[in-house]
Amino acid sequence: MADNDKIMIPKKEMLEAQEFYADRTDKALKALQDAGQTALFMPQLMDARIDAAKGTQIWTNWYCTPSIKATGRSKPSNVSQKDGTPYVIYAHTQNHFSNPTNITAAITQGLINGAGILPEEEFQRLLDLKDDEKVFVIDYETLRNSKSDVMAVKDALNHPQTIPFIGGAERAEAYLKSHQRVIGDQISILHIDDMADMPVARLLFIGYYCNDFLVGDSDLGDVGRFLAVQNGAQSAQQKNGPTQKQLVDLITELVKPINIEELANRIERMYQ
């Protein structure tokens, strides 16, 4: 059979996730890792909610993730930490607090208004990883001066926390549409001023109460409930299915070019 006779068929597989709950985030995170599982970061959790039906458990429960909101200052080599530029980082990748041992140590050391002290080198590392896909960096003053409260869903996309919290503009738009379908016309976007003498960070929560919460002011020592999948499950799903390039090439041949860029972007999000 010639290569041009091959037909690529997209296949979307379901992953089986398990809840892990404990009276502290470090205990819940340790339990799932000891069980050979990997916690979903916030963008993955959002994708799951986007596709889930109203009334399903993933919508009616709150969850935390190993994604973090970190606040601190850049530290050029010729200035002290307090003289650097202030930033807020939303990181959806492995970080200091995706290791439960480091959460335990931060709690023992003493939390600052619920946030854990983040090593300066880790804050700088995350700053350098900014890619607006897994790591987002926003201006500290912009967030500090923004609303932390209930707001209309139609206004939520313009809030400085929404896109970095959810993991990109396209995902945020899709999530807000699902939120409106499942919950209603209001949503709570919560954050807190975490600027201190050293960088600090907290885990990101998503909550369901009366109008849903994008929680950026959680306490690192509070209760934890994570959704997790077996180690390697997500990479295996991608390995067994068509590659991102194969899907884009197929679509390029079969659909009108006006939507190619948008479709390519959506496929890229599926493989993150």
Q: Is the pLDDT of residue 238 over 50?
A: no
* Beta strands 86-91; 224-230: pairing state: unpaired
Which residues pair with residue 189 across a beta bridge?
Answer: 149, 214
Q: Which residues make Cβ contacts (< 8 Å) with residue 82, sequence separation at least 6?
A: 73, 197
* Predicted structure pTM score: 0.79
Counting Cα atoms < 13 Å in the Cβ hemisphere of 141 gives: 1
Q: Which of 68, 63, 137 is nearest to 102 (CA)?
A: 68
**Tens-digit pLDDT profile for residues 152-183:** 999 999 999 999 999 999 999 999 999 999 99
Q: Predicted confidence band at 71 (pLDDT cuts at 50, 70, 90)?
A: very high
Q: Which of 166, 143, 156, 163 is nearest to 41 (CA)?
A: 166
The span from the CA of 58 to the CA of 46, in Å, is 10
| CB 147 within 8 Å of CB 189 | yes
pLDDT score for 216: 80
As a whole number of angstroms, the longest Cα–Cα distance in the chain is: 66
Neighbours of 82 (CB within 10 A): 11
Asked which of 43-57, 125-139, 234-248 is least confident by mean pLDDT, the reply is: 234-248
The span from the CA of 219 to the CA of 224, in Å, is 10
